[in-house]
Amino acid sequence: MVVAATLALVVAALTWWALFRSEPTPWGEVEVDGNRVSVRYVGGECDRSARLDVEETDTEVVLTVQVKRGSLSCSDVGVPRTVRARLEAPVGDREVVDGACRLEKYASYLACSD
């Protein structure tokens, strides 16, 4: 009985992890229109959804694409995608930064090079 309950809990946890986790993804291009931003990135064919996290300071706007992967086995075919968000204030003179590129995991990615 205990083994079955433990196994069910492990299966539930793995299912949740596979279906609901999101991970940062470097983006390639941003378009700014007043206080609206559109970010283009290369996603995967099995992506379930994506959101754009925004952190604003007086000097920068950090945009981080968060992607939910839909399957554990997909091809490596890149799919162009766009996510949008509304800012609290127009970008103005602030620097726009890719939040994923601040993570060591993505520092060497082509999208993160200046």
Interior/surface letters 34-68, b for 16+ CB within 10 angstroms, e for the rest:
eeebebebebbeebeebebeeeeeeeebbbbbbbb
Q: Phi, psi (5° rounding) for residue 37?
A: -125, 145
pLDDT at res. 20: 61
Nearest alpha carbon to residue 65 among 88, 45, 85, 79: 85
65, 24 in Cβ contact below 8 A? Answer: yes
d(CA 72, CA 87): 33
Tens place of pLDDT for every residue, the chain, 114 residues? 766 666 655 555 555 555 567 899 999 899 999 999 999 999 888 888 899 999 999 999 999 999 997 766 777 788 999 999 999 999 999 999 999 999 999 988 888 886
Angle at 86 between CA 95 and CA 102, to 5 degrees: 40
